[in-house]
Each structure stands twice: as structure tokens, then as C-alpha cells.
Amino acid sequence: MTTFEDLGFKPEILKALSELGFETPTPIQEQTAKVLIETDQDVVGLAQTGTGKTAAFGLPIIHDVEPEITHIQSLILTPTRELCIQVSKDLEKYAKYLRGIKVLAVYGGTDIKAQIKKLTENPHILVATPGRLLDLINRGRVDLSELGILVLDEADEMLNMGFKDDIEEILGRTPENRRTLMFSATMPKEVSAIAKNYLYNPLEVTIGKKNESTNTVFHHYYVTTSSNRFNALRRIVDAHPDIYGMVFCRTRAETKEVAERLVNHGYNADALHGDLSQAQRDLVMDKFRKKNLQLLVATDVAARGIDIYNLTHVINYNLPDDAENYTHRSGRTGRAGKEGISIAIIHSREFNKLHEIERVIKKTFVQQMIPNGLEICQSQLMHYFNKISELKADKEGVSKFMDEAMERLGGLSKEELIEKMVAYEFQHLLNDYKNAPDLNIEPPKKEQRRRNDGDSQGGRQDRWERGGDNNKGRNRQRDNRGDDGGNWEQVSVNIGNNRRVSPPQIIAIINKALGNRRGQIGRIKINQSNSLVELRAQDTSAVLQVGSVKFDGEEVRFAKA
């Protein structure tokens, strides 16, 4: 096994690594270190965060710094301020026992004067976000004419965020004979183009697979008619009261229209598109970043440069024409170990596009049913109950009104009071959805066969005919299909109201346990600390065999109920 000593790092670096607990090099470090230390070759590393890529480029950079030379020797460009700070901190740790090495991070959104002052101390290594760096270059505060090494870290994210022009301008300010290293989690054609134009005969190292979409994102699709697209969106949002998401549209006009209709229906939504002034755009983004806005409706172009990746959902109101754009969209969720859902609302003629995306991201979309009224009310009620049970009442503040409240309501029984509370909150929703039609449409037969993979289950109706004690409905559906599909068995999942789980999330958990295959799911009952799910016998044994899956960063276990 290769060690850091074998790779030839200076003893001071080895000491720092041993303190950091780095025992052996990770694959990307092992595969790039020798080339980086012993040759001048450029490198393209296809690697995600978590593979040790920072040390892969950081250790050779530290190893090569000459402290007595006072110009900037290495520059690392990162897409976000957070990564910029992280990388500079990591480099400082690796350089802990080497004397006189100065690392400086410069990034936007903070006072530029302090950074200008620090620049006068002649850092050897500069870690920067592109916009701020260009600003500093244009003010004559950064000179890259003697630069030795340039690193483009998370190149795909930088391009995704709209930094292409800035990067090219920065590259133009560096010497031709610089060495260039580029790291990227995916290799869309824009990133390949940068590599082709600015890197010379690079060594290519791939850790994991090219163009893979993030693992923690579930890809779901809902099928409806074009005319019901908006209503389907509303239902999906209604069934996820905790949603914090982006809705992607194809055009400015559609973005405006969808946002306007959402607002008119009382949703906490706004639009981001090219017609907004910078000030308006900043205002919308500030609200969204602070989560004072639940839904941001945007075009791909307008969304570039937005560094928000902690969404619970990404909704493709219309699928993008380019599969790479889908990767960018869906990459805004499922980060930092959290699970996210990327949803496509499609009509029956859009399966080709869906297949094309599946081919590129190497993931399968799982069909979900557009929730019916009962489902939505259940989700919302659950959310409401959770909010009430978790509420820490300001007893002192409320005490002033308690006498009157007791006088007016104290005579009601507990049941009556709860009934009235629920009715007060949900009457309008119940009324709204009272006779709401089923918005789902059957995918074309060819598609059903493809997706069911030989499974003769009738498909969708059974999944959503559950909840309450609607046994009658479900049995009727089964009889109608003339296919009883075997017996239902109950599986217990150790997650319930205590973790604010919703029926769609339970379905996602089961599907995950089934290897992202769409299982046939009967009734779901969500209790305080567990949920009971009806599954077919073969799915029950598959799920029990898997035993557990990760959900929202935590282990969720299955047991026979």
C-alpha cells in the first residue's frame, strides 16, 4: 500500500498529515501526487467532494511553495465562499510545520478593504471566488503575471453558477506557461471545453463515474396532461407542507405566469427571471436564502450563480432540453448527506426526454401518483399536528388571554375542541379538494411495460387508494383489475410523526429499500414513532432483507409488523 512517505512529501508535511490523522492517501491523492510532484503535467481530476481532492492538489502546492518569493505562486478558484474558506483552512493545516507560508482567502459578500490590506502582506497562495478576484485584479490589487499553478476547484459548479466569463478573463491574466489543474464532480461539455482550451495534455484521473448525478437525490416523475400541469404542481406542493424548493420553467413568460398563479393561490412563492433589476433580484434571493420564501420559480439562466444547494425539492415544471441542465437543477438538492427529491411533471409525450436524461444521469426516475385530496389533507394535517405538538408556547404572553379563552371555550370537551380546531384550519382545504378529479394519466402502454419490468401490477390506483379506512375503495380497485396481486403484508418502519414523515416520504423510503424500484404499496398508517405500510409479499421480504436505509441522514429500520 502506498504511503504519504512513498509519495515524497516533505517531512514537515508528513508531520502535519499524521496530526490530522491522514494515514494513507485516498485514491485521488495516490493517483495524482507523483505526477504533481515529479512532473509539470496538467491534471484533470473527476472527483466529488469527500474524495480528498483538496489534499490531492493542496499537498503538492504546499510542497512546492518557495517562501522567500513574494509573488502569488498558486491560485485556487472555488465556486462558493464556503468552499473558499474551507480550502484555505485546509491548506494552512497542511502547511502548519513549514515556516513562512502565507495563504489568503478572498471571496465576495464581505468587506473588500480588509482583503486588500491582507494582500499587501504578499500571500504565496491565494484561494478565491471568481467575481471577487476579478474585482481585485481590476483594482490593481492582485497580479497574477508570475503565477505558477492555477487550480479550478469544482469547475462544474463554477460554470453552473455563471462564472464562465470570469474564469476565462482570469485565465487570460495568467502566464501561458502556468500549470493548470482542474477538479470537477461531473464533466459536462462546458467543462470539457475549458479543459480542451486551457489545459495542455492533462493527466486524467477519474474517481467514481463520469457525469453521475448526486447519489442522494431521488428522481421522481408525475404524469398528467399539459393543461393540468399547474394543478399537479399545486397538489405536489400541498402534499409537502415543509417544501423549500425551486420550480424550473423553460421561459421567462412561463416563470412569471407560474409564480403569479402560485401567489394568487396563496403560496409563498416568487419568480427569478431576466426582467428583474439587480436590486429586485437581490431582494428575492435574500428572502429565499433566509427561507422567508418557500418556492422560487426560475429559468436555468436566471438560476445560474445562485449558491443555494440545500433545497428539499427541485421541481421541473418542464424538463430542460439539455440533460446537463437537469443535472445542474437536481444538484441543488441532496447535498451534505441530506436526501433530496427532484421531480419532473411530464405529459405522455415526454417520455423520450425522460429516457434521455435517465441515460445521461444513469439513474431511473420513479413514477409517483399526483396526490388526491385525501392524501393532501392527511399530509397537511400531519404537518399541523406536528407544529402544534412541538410548539413551545409563550405561557406568559398567552396568560393575559387565558381567562377569556377559558370562558369562551372551557366548556367544550377535548374532542369537541380538537374537532373545531381541525375544521377551522382545514375546512377550506377539505372543500377545495372535495370533488377534486384524479389528475394522473396513464403512461403509454409501451412505457408501462418498460417501467413495470414484467410486473403485472395495474400500476397506480392501488398506491393512492389508501389512508383513512378506505378499505372498500382499495378492494374495489383490486377487484376491478381482476388481479389480487397476492396478499398484503404489513411492514413497520421506525419513523413516524416524531420525525414529521409524510406518506410520499414513506413511499420514497420503501422504494429506496427496493433499490429504487417502484413497489406496490397499500395503506400507510403513520403513528407517533413508527409507520405501518402494506406491501406485497415479495416486496415485504425484499425490504426486510435490506433491513434499513438512510433517510435524511439517519438510519430507518424495517420490521415485520
DSSP-derived 3-state class of residue 291 = coil
* Residue (52 or 504) nearer to ligand AMP, CB: 52
Contact 222, 344 (CB under 8 A): yes
| Cα–Cα distance measured from residue 262 to residue 489, given in angstroms and rounded to the nearest whole number | 40
Q: Does 63 bind ligand AMP (CB under 6 A)?
A: no
- Which is closer to ligand AMP, CB of 186 or CB of 255? 186
The least distance separating ligand AMP from the CB of residue 338, rounded to whole angstroms, comes to 17
206 near ligand AMP, rule: CB under 6 A = no
Residue number with CB closer to ligand AMP (22 or 244): 22
Q: How far is the CB of 76 from ligand AMP (least distance, A)?
A: 12
Contact 350/317 with Cβ under 8 angstroms?
Answer: no
Alpha carbons 538 and 519: distance in angstroms, whole number? 10
Does the footprint of ligand AMP cover residue 332 (CB under 6 A)?
Answer: no
The count of residues interacting with ligand AMP (CB under 6 A) is 11
CB of 119 to ligand AMP, least distance (A): 25
List Cα–Cα distances, 176 to 70, 179, 411, 515, 538, in angstroms: 20, 9, 84, 49, 62
CB of 23 to ligand AMP, least distance (A): 6
Beta carbon of residue 388, minimum distance to ligand AMP (angstroms, whole number):
40
C-beta of residue 234 within 8 angstroms of C-beta of residue 243:
no
As a whole number of angstroms, the distance between CA 476 and CA 473 comes to 5
C-alpha cell at 368: 409517483
Check residue 50 for interaction with ligand AMP (CB under 6 A).
yes
Cβ atoms 343, 225 nearer than 8 A: no
By CB under 6 A, residue 26 contacts ligand AMP: yes
What 3-state DSSP class applies to 182?
A: strand
309 lines the binding site for ligand AMP (CB under 6 A): no
List 7, 36, 46, 55, residue binding ligand AMP (CB under 6 A): 55
Grid coordinates given for 197: 482550451
Closest to ligand AMP by CB, 57 or 288:
57
Residue 54 is a binding residue for ligand AMP (CB under 6 A): yes
Q: Which stretch binds ligand AMP (CB under 6 A): 47-55, 225-233, 265-273, 463-471?
A: 47-55
Give the chain's count of helices (H) and strands (E): 23, 19
Provide the grid cell at 85.
474558506
**184 forms part of the interface with ligand AMP (CB under 6 A):** no
Of the residues 7, 9, 16, 25, which one makes contact with ligand AMP according to CB under 6 A: 25
Decide: helix, strand or coil at residue 237.
Answer: helix
**Residue 386 near ligand AMP by CB under 6 A:** no
Question: Rounded to an integer, what distance in angstroms lies between the CA atom of residue 316 and that of residue 195?
Answer: 30
Percentage helix, strand, coil, to 5, in the chain? 45, 15, 40
- 474, 466 in Cβ contact below 8 A? yes
**Residue 316 contacts by C-beta under 8 Å, 6 or more apart in sequence?**
248, 326, 329, 342, 343, 344, 345
CB 171 to ligand AMP: min, Å: 23
Of the residues 31, 32, 51, 160, which one makes contact with ligand AMP according to CB under 6 A? 51
Residue 79 touches ligand AMP, criterion: CB under 6 A: no
Amino acid (1-letter code) at residue 117: K
Tell me the closest approach of the beta carbon of residue 343 to ligand AMP, in angstroms.
29
C-alpha cell at 221: 416523475
**Interaction pattern, residues 209-248, with ligand AMP; x per rule: CB under 6 A:** ----------------------------------------
Q: Is 53 in the site for ligand AMP (CB under 6 A)?
A: yes
52 binds ligand AMP (CB under 6 A): yes
Listed in order, strand segments (DSSP E) in 347-464 are 366-367
Binding ligand AMP by CB under 6 A: which of 22, 230, 309, 384?
A: 22
Stretch binding ligand AMP (CB under 6 A), from 23-31, 304-312, 356-364, 370-378: 23-31
Residues that bind ligand AMP (CB under 6 A): 22, 25-26, 29, 49-55
